[in-house]
Amino acid sequence: MSNDKIIIAIDGYSSSGKSSMARALASAIGYRYIDSGAMYRAVTLWAMRHGMVNDGTVDVDNLVAALPEIKIDFKPMPDGSQRTILCGEDVEDEIRRLNVSNNVSQVSVIPAVRHSLVAMQQALGKGKGIVMDGRDIGTTVFPDAEMKVFVDASAQTRAQRRFSELVEKGLQVSYEEVLANVVHRDHIDETREESPLRKADDAVSLDNSEMTIEQQNKWLLDLYNRILAQKA
16 is in an annotated binding site: yes
12 is in an annotated binding site: yes
The separation between the first and the last C-alpha atoms of the chain, rounded to the nearest angstrom, is 13
Residue 22: partners with Cβ closer than 8 Å, 6 or more residues away: 8, 10, 33, 35, 131, 132, 133
DSSP-based three-state secondary structure for 75? strand
Is residue 183 within 8 A of residue 191, CB to CB? The reply is no
Q: Of 113, 122, 123, 125, nearest to 195 (Cα)?
A: 113
15 is in an annotated binding site: yes
Whole-angstrom Cα distance, residue 138 to residue 161? 24
Counting beta carbons within 10 angstroms of the beta carbon of residue 32, is it exposed (0 to 12), middle (13 to 18) or buried (19 or more)?
middle
Counting beta carbons within 10 angstroms of the beta carbon of residue 124, is it exposed (0 to 12), middle (13 to 18) or buried (19 or more)?
middle
Whole-angstrom Cα distance, residue 76 to residue 169? 21
* Distances, alpha carbon 2 to alpha carbons 80, 126, 226, in Å: 20, 11, 19
18 is in an annotated binding site: yes
20 is in an annotated binding site: yes
Residue 230: partners with Cβ closer than 8 Å, 6 or more residues away: none
Which amino acids are annotated as binding site for ATP, given as ranges? 12-20
Which residues belong to the annotated binding site? 12-20
